[in-house]
Structure 1
Amino acid sequence: MLYKVTTFLAVLAAATLALPISVLRRDDCDPIPSPPVVVTVATFTASTAFIEDPAATITRLSTEGATAYYGVQVEDGQTGYVVILYDDVSQAPITASNLESLLQSSASPSSAITVRTAHPNGNITDVLFAPLTEITTMDLLPGKTFEELAPVVDELRIMLDGVTGQFGASHWGEVVEVEGQLKDFVGWESVDEHVRLVSTPEFGAVGGQIVQLASVSSAHVHFTQLV
């Protein structure tokens, strides 16, 4: 059951962190072949209308030149997600402020809408179409640098490459809006495969290095593509 799934970094850290989790799943359609190079992730406390019919509340969201996905967090049933992929941040079809305005009816009246943009170092389209997609946020600890963190996250990416199936391995990028933050995207074929792999000592050692450099939260959400 998805509610019982622990995040891979929580397992890697030998259960020393209590990480917030949510879950995203694909629709039964083929991934888009072109590799978007920018991803925008908007999160908010979902309105009742969004929970009942997410697509209906974002019909005004223009996706010309972009691909949008939406979903509601499985665990709390309240956190909404809208993810947009596009080719060039300088030619973004929707600015952050416009996106916030477009999502007002999707969010509850008291909710802030958080928008984060990153440039992943790989094509996350396949990751978003995975049966299980994990989004991890890492914030550098005081005194730590990306120069220290990046090689460790890359080591994790190399370890995942080839073991997460057709949906690709880990792809990560620095967040534009928040200095010292990065987002990492991982596609999993199944919950069982996820748990089995991250429970190994090899993954645990790398995860231990990561949590010495950054605070970590991880999310898994059911995704549907907006068409």
Structure 2
Amino acid sequence: MLNLQKLLMASFEDRKYLQKEDFQVIKKIGLKFSGPNSWPSFRSYRPGYYPWYLTSEEARYLTLCLQQAIDVSLRFKDDPEMLTPPARKNHYLVRVPQQDKIGGLSWKDEWIEPLPFKKAEIIVEPIDTDRLEKIKRRIPYRQGVWEVDYFYYPNPIKEKEERPFYPYITLWVEHDSGFILKHHLAKPIECISEFQGQFLKLAENYKTLPQE
């Protein structure tokens, strides 16, 4: 379920798991590797998107992360208690940067509590009342129960040079028969905004409205 997370990953893999782009980077910087689990791989994970190669900004950020991970690991080797949390619950050791007078960075340890989880705001499109009223006048009949759900489609889609993404698939299903009335694929950022239009289109084409 890594496609649901937001993270940058550095790992060491067998040569067979690297892609052409990975070998191009290795060749460009003049490094050589051999043996199992010895080939470096760097990937960017974003919710709704296929694991992809790092951007320059992500590469710089991950470099800082790895440098600080090395710093903590070496100190932990000499002091295994350094990662033992203080009496306060839900606090984690974090390396915090500070900018010095000449523009460089220095780092210090801080025990920090994560911010509370904040759900993303869902922006709902205004209801097309004129179109809805036309449908209600033209289709007065109500029948059955429609169920609707949306979820990530398991196969990624790639458009031109863009990063591959997992589209949302929305399904409308008739409750009693299980018959799929309609399906719709959309980019993650467009799924909610397109929902209303797709529902109204279903009502217009199916020529009936559900009781529920």
TM (norm. structure 2) is 0.25
Q: Which has the larger radius of gyration?
A: 2
Give me the TM-score of the superposition, normalised by structure 1.
0.24
